[in-house]
Amino acid sequence: MQIPPGMLTAGSMSDTSEAAGKQLAAPLRKGQLATDSLLLGPGLLIGTPPGSAAVPLRMADPSSIQLVSPGQLVNVVLTGANGYDQQSPSEVLASSVPVLWTSGQGGKTGQWLGTGETDGLIVVAAAPEQAARLAGASTQGKLFFVLVGPEGGAG
């Protein structure tokens, strides 16, 4: 199919070899044009505010990943339960962060992740202060997400 050059969006790929060996962040519909922002890697942050970071998070319930897809907004919640009837209050680490990728959306290992251990992973776009809170958060307790609407939600 030939598309007039003036109709192509920024980041459109004119040659299929540009996408060879790379993994899509989300499924494409038949006839949809592939752009660099739809591939795992640095292009995944296109359209996010300057300074955003792509932060991988391992959710406590890997099956919950099936409920979220790229583009949805989530609150990331940390629970510090130690399993001995002592529970610390849950803490919202980041509010209304967009999901960039999930292991439920194809979940094959891409060169971007470099490992086969993708079960339960989501990648979110986070502002620098959110990224600092999220990095390594799963070592402090269990991580969960809450789907929120574009207005923000609880937190």
Print pLDDT tens along the chain (155 aa): 566 666 666 666 666 666 665 666 666 667 667 776 666 566 678 778 889 999 999 999 988 988 998 889 999 999 976 556 556 788 999 999 999 988 875 544 444 444 456 778 899 999 999 999 999 888 888 999 999 987 644 54
> DSSP letters along 14-46, please?
SSGGGTTT--BSSPPPTTPPPBGGGBSSGGGGT
Amino acid found at 70: P
pTM across the whole model: 0.67
Structure tokens that stand for 43 in this block? 């292009």
CA distance 127 to 104: 24
